[in-house]
């Protein structure tokens, strides 16, 4: 059974601007320890099902967070821009098992984080918050 997270991952990785930067390194949050940079993670923050008057089948409003990680702020910004461009949906998009009606970027937060290895270095992270409307099936 396909999940919306899996469909969004596949759809995001269908953009060569993204895959040229991260390849297939888009993970459910959190990413595996010591993952090579750059990479991205995805997680659902909220889900608001909406039913129609005639049926429980309707659509869902969701908030997702997609985090872009890179070793430099410039590389992180480039990846973040590619993700934001892909997630700015103004026309209906057919995913593998769902329909994406609309999507917009609500915010992008800049962060610098301590690396998860022993290097004591830092990495850049941009937290991209996205609001979307999708089908329930």
Domain of 9, in residue numbers: 4-135
* Number of domains the chain is built from: 1
**Structural element, H or E, at residue 7:** helix 4-12
54-60 long-range contacts, CB within 8 A, separation 24+: 57/136, 57/137, 58/136, 59/101, 59/133, 59/134, 59/135, 59/136, 60/133, 60/134, 60/135, 60/136
Q: What is the CATH number of the domain that holds 49?
A: 3.30.70.1700
The pTM for the full model equals 0.89
**Mean pLDDT, the chain, integer:** 90
The pLDDT tens digits of the residues spanning 87-136 come to 999 899 999 999 999 999 999 998 877 677 666 688 999 999 999 999 87
């Amino acid at each position: 059974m396909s999940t919306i997270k899996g469909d969004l991952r596949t759809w995001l990785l269908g953009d060569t601007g993204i895959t040229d930067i991260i390849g297939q390194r888009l993970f459910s949050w959190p990413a595996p320890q010591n993952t090579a940079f750059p990479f991205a993670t995805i997680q659902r923050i909220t889900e608001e099902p909406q039913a129609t008057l005639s049926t429980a089948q309707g659509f869902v409003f969701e908030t997702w967070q997609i985090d872009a990680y890179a070793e430099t702020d410039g590389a992180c910004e480039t990846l973040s821009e590619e993700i934001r461009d892909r997630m700015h949906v103004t026309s209906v998009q057919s995913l593998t098992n769902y329909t994406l009606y609309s999507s917009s970027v609500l915010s992008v937060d800049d962060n610098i984080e301590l690396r998860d290895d022993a290097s004591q270095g830092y990495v850049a992270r941009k937290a991209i918050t996205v609001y979307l409307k999708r089908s329930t099936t």
